[in-house]
């Protein structure tokens, strides 16, 4: 497996575009995106666990359940959530607008073959009229395929400060297969999933069931292990489309081909998840929490999430304060049994590693060394549960800064 360029346009048979149509009048950035396959795709999706769900989630869940998609249309600037029946009609209209102007090798595209995604302010009606005005230019922009990934990625960003996309390739049965992806997410991020739009494209020939299995495995070990601020969104959407253009031996069951695909997808998603945590609203540091030695991987994940989600741990990270007691405290209120007297904690970064807690008690260390280690842009909190278990998991988060409060104090404007 290796990294390649092109993002969602790297796999054969995919195009993308992004334009500005004025969904949020105060913004001059692109705000409407389209990803299209030249032929119908096997499709799978993972959506928010929030009981309050945006219209786009309701519509896309319905369309993805049929197992076949040709395109995704997405907007920023408006979440189209908590907008009632009018919002649902607007989401369906977005799918229809795209379908009416697209065709694939199999013929016309139906509205049911188009997924919809939205992100932005909750509780504000989506101005579907500006989407109608902008759809022609959006479809026309598909011809500029070399720029399509970046344009579409810009169009789904909100408070993101960095573009988060990538692509990898691997081999299945001696045939090169490509997987591309893009995500947006910066705030209102907490498992499961993060506030988050994510789109995966692949030219792999893989069945819908195997694609769904691989996507859920990748999401569990990547996007479901990101936390910025403890809030779970109404709009979380992760979609994967596979068009089979690589013409590899079909992946229809588990085995070597499936494992090659699933491992490459997971690697891509982990990279995108880390990029989301690094771009957390107001963040100055990427924080990785790794727990080892738990009875099971699930236990390690719960413990790591508890630490990464702690506002006190995140604030200490911002201040480069080696306050390891906050780490033990966060472990202690997680719903996992362990022996506090068998826990060791290390802080690590490119500046080195320091043991701060050994067997549940203080270890002798230099405060100056610890502060230097914790002042780097990427820091790690390494927790060893010395109980003889093999369970291990990493969770990604960021520090909690004054800038986070400033950004969210006037988000609607």
CA angle 150, 201, 29 (to 5 degrees): 25
Beta strand 286-294 with 237-242 is unpaired
Catalytic residues, by residue number, are 195
Determine what percent of the chain is predicted with pLDDT higher than 70: 92
**359, 341 Cβ separation under 8 angstroms:** yes
Which range has the top average pLDDT, 200-209, 232-241, 268-277?
Answer: 200-209
Q: What is the CATH number of domain 2-278?
A: 3.60.70.12
Reported confidence tier of residue 393, pLDDT bands at 50, 70, 90: very high
Q: What percent of the chain has pLDDT over 90?
A: 74
Q: Would you state the pLDDT for residue 148?
A: 93
Q: What is the pLDDT of residue 190?
A: 45
What CATH architecture does domain 286-409 belong to? Roll (3.10)
- Is this prediction's pTM over 0.85? no
pLDDT in tens, 51-94: 889 999 999 999 999 999 999 999 999 999 999 999 999 999 99
All residues at 6 or more sequence positions from 21 whose CB lies less than 8 Å from its CB, including other chains:
31, 32, 130, 131, 133, 134, 135, 137, 138
**What does the domain layout of the chain look like in residue ranges?**
2-278, 286-409
């Amino acid at each position: 497996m290796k990294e390649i360029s092109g993002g969602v346009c790297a796999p054969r048979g995919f195009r993308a575009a992004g334009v500005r149509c004025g969904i949020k009048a105060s913004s001059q950035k692109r705000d409407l995106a389209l990803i299209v396959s030249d032929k119908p795709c096997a499709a799978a999706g993972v959506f928010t666990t929030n009981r309050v769900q945006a219209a786009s989630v309701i519509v896309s869940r319905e369309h993805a359940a049929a197992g076949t998609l040709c395109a995704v249309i997405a907007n920023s600037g408006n979440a189209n959530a908590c907008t009632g029946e009018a919002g649902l009609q607007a989401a369906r209209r977005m799918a229809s607008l795209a379908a009416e102007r697209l065709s694939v090798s199999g013929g016309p595209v139906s509205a049911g073959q188009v997924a919809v995604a939205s992100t932005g302010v909750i509780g504000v009606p989506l101005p579907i009229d500006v989407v109608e005005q902008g759809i022609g230019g959006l479809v026309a922009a598909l011809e500029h395929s070399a720029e399509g990934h970046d344009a579409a990625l810009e169009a789904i960003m909100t408070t993101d400060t960095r573009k988060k996309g990538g692509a990898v390739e691997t081999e299945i049965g001696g045939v090169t297969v490509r997987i591309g992806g893009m995500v947006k997410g910066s705030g209102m991020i907490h498992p499961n999933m993060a506030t988050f739009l994510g789109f995966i494209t692949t030219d792999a020939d893989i069945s819908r069931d195997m694609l769904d299995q691989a996507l859920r495995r990748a999401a569990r070990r990547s996007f479901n292990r990101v936390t910025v601020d403890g809030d779970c969104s109404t709009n979380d959407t992760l979609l994967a489309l596979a068009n089979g253009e690589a013409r590899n031996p079909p992946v229809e069951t588990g085995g070597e081909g499936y494992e090659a695909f699933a491992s490459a997808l997971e690697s891509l998603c982990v990279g995108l998840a880390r990029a989301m945590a690094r771009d957390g609203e107001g963040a100055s540091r990427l924080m990785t929490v790794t727990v080892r030695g738990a009875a099971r991987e699930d236990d390690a994940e719960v413990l790591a999430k508890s630490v990464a989600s702690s506002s006190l741990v995140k604030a200490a990270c911002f201040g480069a304060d080696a306050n390891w007691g906050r780490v033990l405290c966060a472990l202690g209120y997680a719903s996992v049994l362990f022996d506090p007297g068998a826990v060791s904690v290390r802080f690590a970064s490119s500046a080195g590693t320091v043991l701060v807690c050994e067997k549940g008690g203080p270890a002798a260390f230099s405060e100056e060394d610890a502060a230097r280690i914790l002042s780097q842009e990427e820091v790690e909190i390494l927790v060893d549960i010395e109980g003889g278990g093999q369970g291990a998991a990493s969770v990604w988060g960021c520090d909690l800064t004054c800038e986070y409060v400033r950004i969210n104090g006037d988000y609607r404007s």
